[in-house]
Chain A
Amino acid sequence: MRGNSEVRRRSRERAPSLTPAPVNGVASLLLPGLGQILARRIGRGLLILASLTSIIGLLGWRIVALAHRQPTPLAMLVRALNRRPFFIGAMLVGTVLLWLWSAWDAYQEAQPGRQGTAFIFVLILVLFFGLGWQISEIDLYKAVTELSDTWPLLSKVLWPWGAATERVTETLEAEAPIQIPCTDNPPAAPEETPGQPYLKAEPTCGELSDLDENNDVIPGTTMTLTGRNFEPNAETQIWWGDPIGGEFRIRQAGEYVTTQADDQGSFQIDVTMPYRLVPPSAEGAQMMKVMARQISETGAVRLSEPLLLSIERMVETIFLGMMATAFGIVLAIPVSFLAARNLMSGSWFSVGVYYVVRGILNIVRSIEPLIWVIIATQWVGLGPFAGIIALTVHTIAALGKLYSEAIESIDPGPIEAIQATGATGLQTIMFAVVPQMIPPFVSFSIYRWDINVRMSTVIGMVGGGGIGFLLVQYIRLLNFRAAGIAVWFIAITVAILDYVSAEIRERFV
């Protein structure tokens, strides 16, 4: 009763200000917050002082960042005002306003029975918000005008299923040998087999294109390619092959060289021998080849490689999450008993164990699985096993804490009742503790499985195996359709898992 009335009195009548109110106002004008401190509102004064100091400091930093090449502070301010007139102007006005307001606030606070308003803190928050807007480079104009740039990418990711299937292709190909440079006996044109595609080059030897000292092209020998027995009216690509098996499509004037076969499947085209670096160690004449290729889709549709790989990696991901959860549960159970306060309050030793285990769990849990993956890949190398180790470690810490809290919150009544029947310790655990533990254990474990599968889609990105590994590769190859397929699989799996885990938890709890 006495304590209560004392508290009430303290809050209603504050001790009077140390100085008369106008002095407080002037003090806050000289140093914002000082007047409030003199009026015995120390917390308010310090808060205003700290806020205004940080606002001025941050604003100064932004001005320097906007105009760091200017010689004098004034020139910097002018330049910064020119570049961001609205932001800098509004901030300067706001800061001056805050400064003056703090003086008015101190004057008010110092008078008995009067108080400054809380709006001064609203102004402080608005100023911080303005600074935050500028520091984090928020640019709504850009966000709107450049939104359309995301569409080519986003459309592929949102509906990637065009890449889910591909048609079986068949390649019709013929080649002819070319000698570089010419010697006394150039290679003969290949024999023609009836019914087989045939390519003849004329001449069969020559010089490659080269660059002079001005990087201008010196054209190589022009050869006439004659093809027969190809697919009529189909596009034909011309390829070049070097002696070590390298192949590339020949370009002329920046365009791939292609030709169209006629009604009989024949074509004739003049092609300049391409520019090709010949290694200095290559001595004498090199045997190269020119090739004509027709690639046709024969109609049969099959699942594409990205789709098959995504399915494979998704299965791997689900099992990765499952294994990590299983190991995590098994190891978290004993740990959770050591981390349960009600079980460990027996002696100073067990209390010590409790604090040590709790501390370790908190530290391990605060390190993200992504970082554990990096540690684990150092240990067992890239791949799903590293992911399992990382997720297991994190699961032990997370479940250990959840389980121990479940143990802490069990109802002691049934334990007492079972003990009173003359049951042994084990019987008591089996009949009074375990039935109470099952619902939270099942619930937390499934929840964690859910989390682990979701996590395992991400840990692949840093080498932990699973679909994330595939996803990040496709993104780096700019193959957004394939990436989109992987994203879809992740989304579908997570949605199904979410639903299933919610259902199961509902049944058990």
Chain B
Amino acid sequence: MLEVKNLTKIYDDGTVALRNVSFTVHDGEFLIIIGLSGSGKSTLLRCINRLIEPTEGQILWDGMDITAAESGELRKVRRQIGMIFQHFNLVKRSKVITNVIAGRLGYVSQWPSLLHRFPKGDREKALAALERLGIANQAQKRADELSGGQQQRVGIARALMQDPKIILADEPVASLDPVLAHSILGHLEMLNKEEGISILCSLHYLDLVQQYASRVIGLRAGEIVYRGTQQEIRAMTDEEFKDIYGQEAVRVGAGLGTSAGGAT
């Protein structure tokens, strides 16, 4: 269980990115954060594993305060928290398998890993993860030879290698077309349902939110302005969505003339 309490982040230049944000992610939830770009979604996700240092507040991971963890403890926490990114953040020149196996770095001993020596089972585990995401045949290619959707699946495979209890997903489909968006979120949903991995995901397409979220929070200018259950979000109309979200909110399918997510 992840509890965020009164989290505030003020950047050095004085920008207030998060103001007194509190919420909880229960085990097995698919919690979606909505909000315009610049509303603080990315900062919030990065504060959770302290890629960005929070200014104030607490983040409790199964009761342990991440914000107080020193570096060794922090790494142990981080390895339980998978993360995927809008721009995939793969090492483009490395092979797919190398990118995936890097997910084990938090578990292996440091010196052998610097020479790319990993324990026996890790390679098979990486191949199995790629198999599960349907791209096992791409394992020996360079990461930048893959299409966007395939690269994001490599990103998920890398997160899977951490045996995560929760996955933080920062706009995972914003760089992908609508069909791929469903495919990627489908993979996350499968992990959520089959493995009970909690998902904390930022999104901004209403139909995707309606289809996948088990709970939703809305951010605007660093503050939580909306909390809704699955039923509430599914009953929401575009106008209400735009109210909390701003005028730029769109459905994924809007351009295609279909309502891929279906609001029912």
Contact = CB atoms under 8 A, between A and B. Distances in A.
A419 interface: yes
B217 to A, nearest CB: 21
B110 A426 contact: yes
Given A418-B102, A435-B94, A424 B75 contact: yes
Given A416-B51, A418-B102, A431-B105, A423 B75 contact: yes
Q: Taking each of A420, A423, A424, A435, which has the highest tally of chain B beta carbons within 10 Å of its own beta carbon?
A: A420
Interface stretch (B26-34, B85-93, B130-138): B85-93
5 contacts: A413-B85, A417-B155, A422-B77, A423-B102, A435-B94
A440 to B, nearest CB: 11
Interface string B67-108: 000000001111101110101111111100010001111110
Q: Most B CB atoms within 10 A — which of A418, A438, A439? A: A418
Contact of B105 (A413, A422, A438): A422
Given A422-B105, A423-B102, A427-B105, A416 B89 contact: yes
B256 interface: no
B114 A427 contact: yes
A367 interface: no
B162 interface: yes
B91 A421 contact: no
A430 interface: yes
A436 B114 CA distance: 15
Interface in A145-198: none
A88 interface: no
Interface in B151-170: 155, 158, 161-162, 168
B113 interface: yes
Given A413-B85, A417-B158, A430-B114, A422 B106 contact: yes
A43 interface: no
A413 B89 contact: yes
A16 interface: no
A33 B242 CA distance: 62
Given A427-B105, A427-B113, A430-B114, A420 B94 contact: no
Contact of B102 (A413, A421, A424, A439): A421
B58 to A, nearest CB: 20
B49 interface: yes
Q: Which of A416, A423, A438 has the most CB of B within 10 A?
A: A423
Given A431-B105, A435-B94, A436-B91, A419 B78 contact: yes
Interface of A: 411, 413-414, 416-424, 426-427, 430-432, 435-436, 438-439
A420 B81 contact: yes
Contacts of A435: 91, 93-94
B91 A414 contact: yes
Contacts of B75: 422-424
Contact of A431 (B81, B88, B102, B107): B102
A371 B222 CA distance: 59
Contacts of A424: 75, 105, 110
Given A411-B92, A422-B162, A423-B102, 9 more contacts: A414-B89, A416-B85, A421-B79, A422-B76, A422-B106, A424-B75, A430-B113, A430-B114, A436-B91
A31 B47 CA distance: 69
A279 B231 CA distance: 122
A436 B93 contact: yes
Given A427-B110, A427-B114, A430-B114, A421 B103 contact: yes
A422 B87 CA distance: 20
Contacts of A417: 83, 85, 89-90, 155, 158
A421 B160 CA distance: 10
Nearest to A419: B51
B103 to A, nearest CB: 5
A418 B90 CA distance: 9
Contacts of B92: 411, 414
A413 B106 CA distance: 18
A431 B117 CA distance: 12
Nearest to A424: B110
Interface in B198-219: none
Nearest to A420: B83
A414 B87 CA distance: 10
Nearest to B94: A435
Contact of A432 (B91, B106, B162): B91
Contacts of A420: 49, 51, 78, 81-83, 168
A413 B98 CA distance: 16
Contacts of B105: 418, 421-424, 427, 431
A427 B107 CA distance: 12
Interface string B124-145: 0000000000000000000000
A505 B94 CA distance: 17
Nearest to A429: B114
A270 to B, nearest CB: 87
A426 B98 CA distance: 16
Contacts of A423: 75, 102, 105-106
Contacts of A411: 89, 92
